[in-house]
Amino acid sequence: MAAAAAATFLPHTPTPRRRLAVAVHSPTRRRLSLVFSGPPDGALSVAAAEEKADAGEEAAAAVSAPRGGGGGGGKERRRVVRKAWEKLVRWSRSWRRRNRSDVVETTRKVVVLGGGSFGTAMAAQVAAKKADLEVSMLLRDDLVCRSINHSHINCKYLRDHRLPENITATTSASDALAGADFCFHAVPVQFSSSFLEGISTHVDPKLPFISLSKGLELNTLRTMSQIIPQALGNPRQPFIVLSGPSFAIELMNKLPTAMVVASKDKKLAAAVQQLLASPNLRISTSNDVTGVEIAGALKNVLAIAAGIVEGMHLGNNCMAALVAQGCSEIRWLATKMGAKPTTLSGLSGSGDIMLTCFVNLSRNRNVGLRLGSGEKLDEIMNSMNQVAEGVSTAGAVIALAQKYHVKMPVLTAVARIIDNELTPKKAVMELMNLPQVEEV
C-alpha cells in the first residue's frame, strides 16, 4: 500500500543503478558500502552522496540491530523510518532544483473554453500561478461573463468562491484566443465538434490544446484527441489530455489533488506539468493518450452502475463486485485499443474510478443513484444544470466494445437501462445469472 501511494505522489525518475562493493570487515565493526553509478557527466549529486552515506548507516544498523522484536528493535525501526523519510525529503528538494522550468515565467496568456465548474476551477488554478498571467474564459452566457468580470464570481457554478482578479471572461472567440500560449478545452464532448468548428479560424495552428472533457462522441465513437484536430482542420494541432481523480470544488478549496497529463509529445507534457503543478496539485506525465482518455470516458458509465447499486440498497458486497467487474471490462477494452495496463491502475484509471464510483459529489453516480431509486432518466436530466457525460457515453462504449469484440456485461446493462430497455432490478438479476466463469 505504501508502495502504491509512493507511485502516485512521486514523479517518475530513473533509478540509479547500483552495484554492491565488497564488504569490508573488521574485528570491531562491519561496514557495507553501496556504490552508485553517477549521472551522465560522471558527477555524483549531493542527494546521491547523502543517499550513499545513509545506505551504509542503515546497512550497518540492520546488521547490529537486536533480533526478537524487543524495545531496542522498535526504536531502531523508528530510526530507520525517520531516515527513509528524511532521505525522501532531500531527494525531493534536489529533484526540484534540477528540474526548474521557465514555463510559468514565459507564459503570458491562457484561454479556457467553457465556463462549467471544472473549467472555472482550472482557470483559477492557472491564474493563481502569477498575478500578471492573463486568463481568458470564452463563454456563451453574457450574464456569467459580467459576473466574472465585475464581481470575480461565476454566478452559475462555484458561486461561493471568488476568482483571481486576473481572470476575465468574454463571448468573443477572437478576443479570447488572441495571443494565447495554452488553451484548456472544457466543453462537453457531445458539443465539442460543432463548437470548435465555429472558432477554428481564430485558433493558432501551434496552440497547445489541453482537453478536460471526458467521454466519447456518440455517433462517431471519437475521443477528444481525434475530435479536436479534426474539428480545427489541423491534424498536427498540439494535444494534451488532463485527467485523474479531481472534483472542481476541492480544487477551489485547495485540497491536495493528483492528476496526470498525457501527450505524445514528452516535452509538451512536461511543460503543462510545470504550468499546472502547485503545492496543492501534483501532476504526473504520461505518453499513453489512449489509456488516459478511454479510462476517463468509461469510468463515468461505471459510476452510473455504482449509483444504481447504491440506489437499490444492494449492499457493499454487491458494490465491490460490480466495480471490480467494471474495472476488468474497462481494462479489456482499453488494452485492446492499445492502452498500457499501468495507466489503467494509475490516477486516470483506478484513481478516477474510485472517486467517481464512491463519492456523492459525482454527477454520474448521482444519476445512477436516482435511477436505482426509481426515478425516470428524463426527470433526472431535466433537473440537472451540469452534464453527466456517462449518459451519452454509455451507448458509444457498447458500440466500441462490439468493434473490438469485447464482452462488457456491466457497462452494457447500464446502456440498456439508459435506453429504457431494461429496469435496474432486471439488470441485476440478469448479471447475477451469467455463467460462472474463470476470473480473467
The number of CA neighbours under 13 Å toward the Cβ of 234 is 19
Find out whether 351 is annotated in a ligand binding site.
no
Grid cell in block for residue 423: 429496469
- For residue 31, which phi and psi values (nearest 5 degrees)? -135, 135
Distance CA 385, CA 145 (A): 18
CB 410 within 8 A of CB 305: yes
Residue with cell 464581481: 151
- Is residue 129 among the annotated active site residues? no
Residue with cell 561496514: 31
pLDDT tens across 396-420, in order? 988 999 999 999 999 999 999 999 8
Nearest in space to 189 (alpha carbons), one of 101, 293, 274, 70: 293
- The H or E element that residue 239 is part of is strand 239-243
CB 110 within 8 A of CB 135: yes
Grid cell in block for residue 167: 481572470
Residue 388: which region, alpha, beta or left (left: phi > 0; alpha: psi -120 to 50)? beta
Average pLDDT, the chain: 85
Long-range pairs, 52-57, Cβ under 8 A, ≥24: 54/83, 54/87, 56/31, 56/32, 57/83
Q: What CATH topology corresponds to 102-287?
A: Rossmann fold (3.40.50)
CB 190 within 8 A of CB 222: no
The number of CA neighbours under 13 Å toward the Cβ of 105 is 3
- Give alpha helix (H) positions in 99-204: 103-106, 117-127, 142-151, 173-177, 189-199
Find out whether 115 is annotated in a ligand binding site.
yes
Distance CA 309, CA 213 (A): 26
Grid cell in block for residue 7: 507511485
- For residue 20, which phi and psi values (nearest 5 degrees)? -80, 125
Distance CA 410, CA 137 (A): 38
Grid cell in block for residue 396: 458509444
Q: Which residues of the chain have pLDDT under 70?
A: 1-72, 96-101
Spot the catalytic one: 109, 206, 299, 376: 299
Distance CA 161, CA 145 (A): 15
Distance CA 133, CA 216 (A): 33
Distance CA 102, CA 87 (A): 27
Grid cell in block for residue 358: 464512491
CB 228 within 8 A of CB 200: no
Nearest in space to 236 (alpha carbons), one of 260, 210, 257, 207: 207
Residue range(s) in the chain whose domain bears CATH number 3.40.50.720: 102-287
CB 271 within 8 A of CB 323: no
Query: For residue 67, what pLDDT is reported?
Result: 52
Tell me the CATH number for domain 291-433: 1.10.1040.10
Query: For residue 102, what pLDDT is reported?
Result: 83
Indicate the residue type of 111.
V
Distance CA 413, CA 394 (A): 9
Find out whether 116 is annotated in a ligand binding site.
yes
Find out whether 214 is annotated in a ligand binding site.
yes
Residue range(s) in the chain whose domain bears CATH number 1.10.1040.10: 291-433
Query: Order of strands across the sheet with 281-286?
Result: 167-170, 134-138, 109-113, 182-185, 209-211, 239-243, 257-262, 281-286
**What is residue 112's three-state secondary structure?**
strand
pTM for the model? 0.80
Find out whether 117 is annotated in a ligand binding site.
yes
